[in-house]
Amino acid sequence: MSESKDKRIKKLKKNRIWPFILGMFVIVLIFACMVLALVGASVEDVVKRKVLNGLRQAEQIAESFKDYDSEDKNTEETILNYLDMALETNSVWVTDLENEKIWASSDMSPKVDKAQFINFGDNNPVNLIIEDDSEKLLTIEHIGKEILTADTVLKILDSKGNDNETIAVIKVWFIQEVDDLTVYVLQDINIYAYDCFMLLVSLILFGVMIAAFILYYISSFVDIIVNARRTSKVIYTDITTGGKNWLYFVKKGNRILKRKTYINNYAVIHLKMRKYRSFCTCFGVKEGEILVEKMHHVLKKQIKRGELMVFKENATYALLLAYENEEQLKERIEDITNKLNMLLYNMKLYFAVGIYKVNKKETDIEQLYNNAVLACDMLGEEAETQVIFFDVEMNNRRIWERKVENDMYSALTNHEFQVYLQPKISTSKEELAGAEALVRWIHPREGFIPPNMFIPIFERNGFILKLDDYMLEEIAKQQSEWIKQGRKVVPISVNVSRAHFAKEDLAEHICSIVDKYQVPHEVIELELTESAFFDDKQVLLETVRKLRESGFIVSMDDFGAGYSSLNSLKEMKLDVLKLDADFFRGAEAQDRGLLIVSEVIDLAKKLNMKIVAEGIESREQVDFLTEQECDLIQGYFFAKPMPIREFEEKYND
């Protein structure tokens, strides 16, 4: 898959979850800060209020020391009584102007050096010492913050706001000047749970808010996950079949192949229904889609765990199948195509199947599938089900094909295609009686290229039409030149590829090329292959009739190779029958083959046809054919195809 495509899919599937989570944290943080500030302020308020209460009590006690007389036991008793009543006062310490202790209710003494003035906002600062274990100089604000610990909060929550439970105690010495004395009054400032009512309310509110937010975020989170799954489903679903699509095949397939632990062998398969377009033309696109869907269901049933199958396009399917050995895989494919074949009662379906056997190190399923397609492309358009395995040679062939396709147009304009002529020799006098024009490609970089390396490619891509026209024109030009020079001319044949017969005006087209050079049609022979008989027979018969009527010699090439049918001979009047070289090669050349040759010659004679035997390499073959009254012989025994100049020198003088 291309990188940009991959990126686009990732973008589609992306869950913007991180900004979401971050947002959640920021909001919770802001709330927490707000609550802390509120709570902090409320605790500080509480502490200040309490300290002022304590101050009032301390002032009353200090009042008792007005006109203090150390000798007067009554005064002391009054003070002690007073102290007993004042529950929150722990101790009193009195000093004179020199800071000498004059009186004390207990051993507890203030740390005088830590005395500090605290302003409560009324410009009347209070002088006090905060009793604390630590050496730091605590202020009220500090105390407010120190009280606010997790422990305190728990205590407050536990008290539920209606309990008298003390949650913190601050010990403060209030310093009062009375006459010449300094009176230090130690007070316990108790902070009760109910003092922190505001704090509690804030905490509860905070809790509710957090809970609401968490709920909101959980529901949004679930929504995102659900949406992400839905997007994934849309991305990986094929709308024609409702099954998974090619993207899924690539993603999952790569994952399966990367799992090094798989035990089975895997094969990537390209399965294509033949003639799907014709099916749609006959029955309609809708019927075509229904068939595709049905095929998908059949295939789905054949797929096991760890295997994949998706619809690709135009009745083609991509499969990833596990297999034990090649034989078993072939059987399985056969079984699958048989099952597909049962889909239509009145019609047989044909399939082309390309298989690529995956090596354990290969993981790029797209590339592997390409190989399966490449193998499948090697199969022709035969009307039968065929299965083909990929081999490395196919890849080289594909590369070559690209090269040929790239260069063919410039080759035609640059006259890189050259005409070679191969003589046809008469058996009666063993002299030149004709020739066949055969093309050679003299490539500027590749050098000499024989026709079997590019003709099949041109036949597939249609360029053969241009090449054959070019050859015909070259021959017409050459014949006219020789005629003008007064040389002896023999009929020269050109090959007319099967593709031409799709044109209804082929005969007119050929005439127009030849007539440009005013060449009598009798010196041009047209070789048709038998395979042309499988296309539109009516057009073929009509074309052949017109060509013969206008004087061209028409021959049937390669008779006996592939689909020999004597029927085609009966149906169509032709001038020449060219016996394929296969008759005279290998096992065919044995008695049975030769018997067939003599029978075919016999039949052709009865049909008034001339016989040319191709691929003749030995004297025995020549003698045999002469004996059978074969008319002409074309083969290496007499001559190989040669450039026109060489042909001219040898035969036309």
Return d(Cα 445, Cα 393) in angstroms, integer: 22
Report phi then psi at 358, rounded to 5: -80, 130
228 beta partners: none
Return d(Cα 291, Cα 349) in angstroms, integer: 11
**Residues binding Ca ion: what is the number (CB under 5 A)?**
5
**Residues binding ligand C2E: what is the number (CB under 6 A)?**
23
Q: How far is the CB of 339 from ligand C2E (least distance, A)?
A: 39
Q: Is position 530 an interface residue for ligand C2E (rule: CB under 6 A)?
A: no
C-beta of 144 vs 641, nearer to Ca ion: 641
Q: Give 532's DSSP letter.
A: G
Please report, as residue ranges, which positions from 372 to 431 form the binding site for ligand C2E (by CB under 6 A).
Answer: 422
493 beta partners: 436, 525
Q: How far is the CB of 613 from ligand C2E (least distance, A)?
A: 10
C-beta of 563 vs 636, nearer to ligand C2E: 636
- Exposure b/e, 559-597, CB count within 10 A at least 16 = b: bbbeebeeebbeebebbbbbbbbbbbeeebbeeebbeeb
Return d(Cα 574, Cα 492) in angstroms, integer: 16
Contact partner, 450, from ligand C2E, Ca ion, none, Cβ < 5-8 Å per class: ligand C2E
For β-strands 576-579 and 553-559, DSSP reports them as: parallel
Q: Is position 407 an interface residue for Ca ion (rule: CB under 5 A)?
A: no
- Which among 32-40, 467-475, 541-549, 595-603 is the span making contact with ligand C2E, rule CB under 6 A? 467-475
Return d(Cα 604, Cα 578) in angstroms, integer: 10
Q: Is position 450 an interface residue for ligand C2E (rule: CB under 6 A)?
A: yes
Phi-psi region of 315 (alpha: psi -120 to 50; beta: other; left: phi over 0): left
C-beta of 4 vs 452, nearer to ligand C2E: 452
User: Dihedral sign, CA of 356, 359, 364, 365?
Assistant: positive
Tell me which of 452, 567, 590, 608 binds ligand C2E, using CB under 6 A.
Answer: 452
Q: Is position 641 an interface residue for ligand C2E (rule: CB under 6 A)?
A: yes
Please report, as residue ranges, which positions from 482 to 511 form the binding site for Ca ion (by CB under 5 A).
Answer: 495
- Which among 7-15, 329-337, 511-519, 630-638 is the span making contact with ligand C2E, rule CB under 6 A? 630-638
Q: Is position 368 an interface residue for ligand C2E (rule: CB under 6 A)?
A: no
- Exposure b/e, 268-282, CB count within 10 A at least 16 = b: bbbbbbbebeebbee
Residue pointed to by tokens 């083609």? 316
Q: How far is the CB of 495 from Ca ion (least distance, A)?
A: 5
Tokens of 587: 């096992």
C-beta of 75 vs 626, nearer to ligand C2E: 626
- Which among 55-63, 370-378, 612-620, 644-652 is the span making contact with ligand C2E, rule CB under 6 A? 612-620
Q: Is position 451 an interface residue for ligand C2E (rule: CB under 6 A)?
A: yes
Type of residue at 404: V
C-beta of 131 vs 557, nearer to Ca ion: 557
Q: Is position 95 an interface residue for Ca ion (rule: CB under 5 A)?
A: no
What residues contact residue 273 under an 8 Å CB cut-off, 6+ apart? 279, 291, 295, 315, 316, 340, 349, 350, 351
Q: Is position 557 an interface residue for ligand C2E (rule: CB under 6 A)?
A: yes
Q: How far is the CB of 358 from ligand C2E (least distance, A)?
A: 37
The H or E element spanning position 220 is helix 197-235
The 3-class secondary structure across 596-646, one letter per residue, is: HHHHHHHHHHHCCCEEEEECCCCHHHHHHHHHCCCCEEECCCCCCCEEHHH
Q: How far is the CB of 472 from ligand C2E (least distance, A)?
A: 9
Q: Is position 528 an interface residue for ligand C2E (rule: CB under 6 A)?
A: no
Contact 568, 530 (CB under 8 A): yes
Q: Is position 634 an interface residue for Ca ion (rule: CB under 5 A)?
A: no
Q: Is position 455 an interface residue for ligand C2E (rule: CB under 6 A)?
A: yes
Contact 352, 250 (CB under 8 A): no
Contact partner, 615, from ligand C2E, Ca ion, none, Cβ < 5-8 Å per class: ligand C2E
Return d(Cα 10, Cα 58) in angstroms, integer: 74
Angle at 334 between CA 328 and CA 340, to 5 degrees: 140
Q: Is position 558 an interface residue for ligand C2E (rule: CB under 6 A)?
A: yes
Please report, as residue ranges, which positions from 549 to 588 form the binding site for Ca ion (by CB under 5 A).
Answer: 557-558
Q: How far is the CB of 451 from ligand C2E (least distance, A)?
A: 4
Q: How far is the CB of 493 from ligand C2E (least distance, A)?
A: 9
Contact partner, 62, from ligand C2E, Ca ion, none, Cβ < 5-8 Å per class: none
- Which residue ranges make up the site for Ca ion (CB under 5 A)? 495, 527, 557-558, 614
- Which residue ranges make up the site for ligand C2E (CB under 6 A)? 422, 438-439, 450-452, 455, 464, 467-468, 471, 495, 497, 557-558, 614-617, 634-636, 641
